[in-house]
Chains A and B, each alone.
Chain A
Amino acid sequence: MNAASLTASLLLPLALLLALLPPATRRIALVLAPLAPLPALWTASLASADAVLDLPWLLLGSRLGLDDTGRLFLLFTALTWLAAGLYARAYLARDARRTAFWAFFLATQAGNLGVCLALDLASFYTLYALMTFAAYGLVVHTRSAEAWRAGRIYLVMAVLGELTLVAGLMMTAHAAGGLMIADLQAASPPPVAVALVAAGLGVKVGLPLLHLWLPLAHPVAPVPASAVLSGVMLKAGLLGWLRLLPLGHAVYPEIGATLLLLGLIAMFYGVAVGLAQRDLKVVLAYSSVSQMGFMTLGVGAGLSAPGLWPVLLPAVGLYALHHALAKSALFLGAGVALKVGGRAWVLAGLALPALALAGAPLTGGWLAKAALKGGLAGLPAPWGGLLGILLPLAAVGTTLLMTRLLWLVHRLPAKEPVASLALPWLAWTLLGLVLPWGYAQRVTFPEWAGLAAATWPVLLGLLFAWLAWRGRLQVPVIPPGDLVVPLEHLLKILKRRQRDILPIEQRLRS
C-alpha cells in the first residue's frame, strides 16, 4: 500500500502529462489534470511513518519515502498544487495555449512533489531539475516581452544554481561515502561543499543577490503558476537545505553566519524594494524574498549552533507551511482582485493571509514566528540579542508591505465578480487559517502573555502606513528585479564593446 501510494504520488502527474500529448486523450486529461496531486495528498496524510520504497535499479540507486520533514512538505506542497490546479481550471478556461500550460504545470508538479519524497541525492536532483526546467514553460506562458525577459533571467540563474548544487552534491557524496540522505546524517563535508549546496539551492530560495530572477518570474506567470512558484517551489530549495546540509551535527561558523546575515538582509531588503512596486504580484514576490529570509535565519542558526537544531527544525517547518498557505492565498487573491477589482470582500479575503504574514496574534504566522524566535534566542551573542530586536522590526516591515498591497488592491476599479475563481480562493484562505494550528503542538506554543509582543509590530506598521498616507508620501519606483537592471545594462555595454572589437580582429587576421 505504501509503495503503491508513493509511486502513484509521483506517477499520476506524469501519466496525465503523457495523456495530454496525443489529441485522442487530451480532453479527458484536461478534465483530470487539476486532481493530479490527490495521491500525494493521500500519501502525506495517511501513509505509515516507515513508508520507504527502495529502487536500486533506478538512477544511481533510488529511495523514495516519508520522514517527518518530508511528510510536512509533501502535505502543503500537494495541497497548494491542488488549490492552484482547481483555480487554474477556471483561470485558463479560455486560454489558447491551455494544453501547453497544463503540460508544464504537471511536469513541474511531478518534480515538486517528488523532491518531498526523494531520500537519495540522485533522485532528489533529478526531480529538482525536472521542476526547475519545466517551470520555465510556466514563466513564459504569456509570451509577452516581459515574460521572455523574465524567462531568460530565470533560466540563466536556474542553470547556475543547478550546476552549483551538483558540484556541491558531488563533494558531499564523496565525503559521506554514499548517495542516500541517511548517509549524510553523520557526515561533515568540507565547508566548500556546504557552501556550494547552500548557494545552489539559495537561487531557488531567493537569497539576496541570487533573488534577481524571482521578482521578475513570479509575477509574470499566470496567477495559479505564481501561487505555486512563490508558495511551494521556493520551499523545494528550503527542503533541499534541510535534507542536504549537515544540520544538527556539525558546526560551520562562517557559512552559518553568512546565512544569518543574508537572512537578515533579505527580510528588510525584500520589504524596502517591495514597497517601491506598483504591481500587486511584484509586491508579493518581494514579500516572498523577505519571508524566505526568516527561514534562512533558522537554517543559518542550525549551521552555527547544531545544538539548537532540534528546536529550529520544527519551527522552520511550521514557518514553511504557514508561508506556503498564506502566500499562495495572496497570489490567488491578487488574481481575483485583478479580475474583480478592489471590492470590500476581496480586500477582506486578502487581509486575512496578509495579517498572518505579519504575524498578527492567533494566525499561523504568529505561531511560526514565536517558534522561530524561541529557537533563535538560544544563539550566542551577538546574534541572540540582535535578532530579538530585529525580528519585530521585520514584522513592522511586513505589515507595511501588506498595507501597501491592500492599498494597491483598493485602488483597482471594480469589475464583474467571477465566482469560479473566488470560491477556490476563499476556501483556500480559510484552510490556510486553520491548518497551521494542526502543527502547533510540534513547537513551543507561544505564551499568551506574548500576545502583546506580537501585536505592537502590526499596530506600529499600520500607524506608519497611516502616516505615510496622511503625509501623501510619494513612494519612489524601483524596477522589478532591482539589481538585474544595471547588470543587464552592463552586459549590453560589454556586447557593444565586443561588436566593436570583432571587426578589428577580423581585419587583423585577414
Chain B
Amino acid sequence: MTVNEVLPLAVIASSLLPGLIIFALPERRIGLRSALNLLGAVSKLVFVGLLLAGVAAGEEYGFRHTVLPGVELVFKADALALLFVTLSTVLWLFTTVYAIGYLEGSPHRSRFFGFFSLCVTATVGLAMAGNLFTFFVFYELLTLSTFPLVVHRGTPQAMRGGMVYLAYTLAGGALLLTGIVWLHGLMGQVDFVHGGSVAALGPQATAQLKVVFLLLIAGVGVKAAIVPLHGWLPQAMVAPAPVSALLHAVAVVKAGAFGIVRIVYEVYGVEYAQSLGLLLPLAIAAAITIVWGSVRALFQDDLKKRLAYSTVSQVSYIALGVALFGPVGTIGGLAHLVHQGIMKITLFFAAGNYAETLGVHKVSELDGAGRRMPLTSAAFSIAAFGMIGVAPTAGYVSKWYLGEGALAAGMDWVVAVLWTSSLLNAAYFLPILYRLWFRPRPAAWPHEHIPARGWRETGWLLLAPPLITAAAVLITGLFAETSWSPLAWAKLIAAREYLQ
C-alpha cells in the first residue's frame, strides 16, 4: 500500500481506534479517556493537513477494497471530500474539548465518548466515500452511532426524541438504499466521478433516473432536514449541547447536505441533472425549507429549539447553492457548508453555556445574560449576525455568492428568497441579542451551577471553544478572498467541477 492509499485510512482510523478503546475503559479513567480523545482529534488534524497540502498540489488519494464481486469499498480524498473532512475534524476537536467540560461529573461518559468517536469516524468515512455503496455504509453507521448520543440522558423526553430521530433516519436510509440498488441494477456499481456517470445510460433510462434521483435525494434529504422531512431535528434538540453541535454543525445534517452535493455533481453530473430538469425542483424544495424553517424558528421560546429550526433553514442554503446551475452558486453552497458549521456550532456552544452555567434554557430567560456572561454572549452575537448575513461575518459571504449565483443562473427569484430568509433570521436572532445586552438582569438565575470568577464567567473548557469558533466566523468573513479561506477551497472545487 502506498502513502496515498494509507492516508485516507489513517484519517478514519484516528477516531475509530480511540473510540473502540474508550468503550472498554472504566468510567473513572477520565485522564486517559480525555488524552485518547485529544490524541485522536489532533492526529486526525495532522493527517487532514497532509491531505490538504497534497490535494492543493494536485495529488490524488484513494483506496479500494473489493467486498463482494461487483461491490467495492472505495475511498477517495478529493477536494470536495476534504472540505467536509476538514470541517468535521476541526470542529470535532473543539467539540471534544467542550464535551469534556460539559459532561464533567455526569455518568456514562465512556459510552458517550465512544459513540462520539464512532460518529466522527462515520462522518469522515462518508465524506471520503468514493461510491454510493461506501457512502451508504457510513451513512447508516452515522445514524446508529448518533442515536445513543441523542438519548444519552435517558429521560422519557430524550427517548421520545431519539425514537423520532431513528424512525426518520432509518426510513431515509431505506429510501437511499432503494435508490442505490435500483441504480446498481441499471449500471452496476456507481462511482463518484466528476461530471457524473449515469448520463451514459442514454435517453431510454431518463424516466427511471428521475425516480431514482427523487429516492436518493429524499434519502439524504432526511438528514439534511429538507421540508417535509425535517421533523426529527427539532425533536433531537433534547440531546446534550455537544451532541447538538455534532448534529447541527459537525456531522449529521452536513452528511445529508454533502450527500446532495455528491449525488448532483458526481452521480448525475450537474449538466445532466440540469438537462433532466431536476435542479429547479431541488431549488424550490430548498427555498421552501429555507423560509419555512425560519418561520417556525420565530415562534420557539426554547433556545435550542429555535436554533434547531434555524438549522433546518440554513442547511438548505447548501442544497440551494448546488441547485443553482453555474460555478458561482456552487461556490456559495459549498462555502456555506463550512460557514454554517462554524456559525451554528458557536450558537450551540453558547446555548450550552447558558444552560450549564445559569440554568437558562429559554429565550425569555436570557434577559441581561450579556452582563453576566459577556464573552459567551459576544460569541453568540457574532454568530447570530453571521446567520442574518451581516458583513463582515462568514454568513454574508455565503449569501452574497448564492445571490450572485442565482442571478448568473437566471433565477432572480432566489434573491427574494434570500431577502425573506434574512429578514426572518433577523426577526428571530435580534430579539435574543436585545435581551442579552439591553435588558436588565434578573434578581436570580434559574439555576446557577457555575459561579463567575473575575472575568471567567464559566468553566475554561466551555468558554474557549465558542470564542475560537466565533473568531473563525469573523476571520472567514473578513479574509474570505485569501487563498486559505473556505471560500477559496470552494472555488477550487467549483473550478474542477465545471471545467470538465
Contacts and interface: CB of A to CB of B under 8 A. Distances in A.
Interface of A: 56-61, 122, 125-126, 129, 133, 140, 155, 159-160, 162-164, 166-167, 170-171, 173-174
A163 to B, nearest CB: 5
Contact of A60 (B389, B400, B407, B422): B400
Given A58-B478, A59-B477, A163 B407 contact: no
Contact of A126 (B392, B403, B438): B392
B423 A59 contact: no
B479 interface: yes
Given A167-B415, A171-B407, A174-B408, A133 B390 contact: yes
Contacts of A61: 481
B211 interface: no
Given A59-B480, A167-B403, A159 B426 contact: yes
19 contacts: A56-B481, A57-B479, A58-B478, A59-B392, A59-B478, A59-B481, A60-B481, A126-B391, A133-B390, A140-B438, A159-B423, A166-B403, A166-B419, A167-B403, A167-B418, A167-B419, A170-B400, A171-B407, A174-B407
Interface string B421-432: 011001000100
Contact of A170 (B403, B477, B479): B403
Contact of A174 (B389, B404, B426): B404
B397 interface: yes
Interface in B462-482: 477-482
B430 A155 contact: yes
A129 B390 contact: yes
Interface in B73-117: none
B481 A58 contact: yes
Contact of A57 (B396, B403, B482): B482
Contacts, number: 63
B435 to A, nearest CB: 12
Residue in B397, B408, B412, B416 whose Cβ sees the most chain A Cβ within 10 Å? B412
Contacts of B481: 56-61
Nearest to B412: A171
A61 B478 CA distance: 10
B403 A60 contact: no
Contact of B404 (A133, A140, A159, A170): A170
A502 to B, nearest CB: 10
Interface of B: 385, 389-392, 396-397, 399-400, 403-404, 407-408, 412, 415-416, 418-419, 422-423, 426, 430, 438, 477-482
Contacts of A133: 385, 390
A14 to B, nearest CB: 12
A297 B200 CA distance: 62
A171 B479 CA distance: 23
Contacts of B430: 155, 159
A122 B401 CA distance: 12
B9 to A, nearest CB: 36
Contacts of B403: 166-167, 170
Contacts of A171: 407, 412, 415
Nearest to B408: A174
Contacts of B400: 60, 122, 166, 170
A159 B384 CA distance: 14
Nearest to B479: A57
User: Which among B391, B408, B422, B430 has the highest number of chain A CB atoms within 10 Å?
Assistant: B391
A162 B400 CA distance: 13
B397, B400, B416, B422 — most chain A CB neighbours (10 Å): B400
A164 B419 contact: yes
A60 B408 contact: no
A163 B423 contact: yes
Contacts of B407: 170-171, 174
Query: Looking at chain B's contact residues, is the secondary structure mostly helix, strand, loop, or mixed?
Result: helix
A125 B415 contact: no
B377 to A, nearest CB: 13
Given A60-B400, A166-B403, A166-B422, 13 more contacts: A57-B479, A122-B400, A133-B385, A155-B430, A162-B390, A163-B419, A164-B419, A166-B399, A167-B403, A167-B415, A167-B418, A170-B415, A174-B404
Q: What DSSP secondary structure best describes chain A's contact surface?
A: helix
A16 B408 CA distance: 42
A2 B209 CA distance: 61
A145 B416 CA distance: 35
Contacts of A166: 389, 399-400, 403, 419, 422
A388 B249 CA distance: 62
A420 to B, nearest CB: 29
Nearest to B374: A21
Nearest to A155: B430
Contacts of A59: 391-392, 477-478, 480-481
A125 B482 contact: no
Contacts of A155: 430
Contacts of A57: 479, 481-482
Given A167-B403, A170-B407, A174-B407, A60 B397 contact: yes
9 smallest A-B Cβ distances: which pairs?
A126-B391, A170-B403, A174-B407, A159-B426, A57-B482, A126-B392, A167-B419, A163-B422, A129-B390
A122 B422 CA distance: 17
Q: Which of A155, A159, A170, A173 has the most CB of B within 10 A?
A: A170
A347 to B, nearest CB: 37
B427 to A, nearest CB: 8
B180 to A, nearest CB: 38
Nearest to A143: B438
Contacts of A129: 390-391
A41 B446 CA distance: 50
A387 to B, nearest CB: 34
A173 B422 CA distance: 19
Nearest to B455: A22
A67 B422 CA distance: 33
Contacts of B399: 166
A170 B477 CA distance: 17
A122 B390 contact: no
B20 to A, nearest CB: 44
Contacts of A170: 400, 403-404, 407, 415
A57 B389 CA distance: 19
Contacts of A126: 391-392, 396
A61 B426 CA distance: 26
Nearest to B485: A57
A58 B392 CA distance: 10
A59 B391 CA distance: 8
Nearest to B403: A170
A56 B483 CA distance: 11
Contacts of A174: 404, 407-408
Given A140-B438, A167-B403, A170-B403, A122 B391 contact: yes
Contacts of B392: 59, 126
Contacts of B418: 167
Contacts of B389: 166
Contacts of A60: 397, 400, 480-481
A488 B481 CA distance: 44
A346 to B, nearest CB: 34
Nearest to A192: B412
Contacts of B422: 163, 166
A393 B345 CA distance: 59
Nearest to B388: A159
Nearest to B440: A143
Contacts of A140: 438
B333 to A, nearest CB: 16
A85 B480 CA distance: 34
Contacts of B438: 140
Nearest to A140: B438
A160 B397 contact: no
A110 to B, nearest CB: 12
A282 to B, nearest CB: 23
A155 B431 CA distance: 10
A298 B397 CA distance: 34
Nearest to A127: B391
A170 B423 CA distance: 16
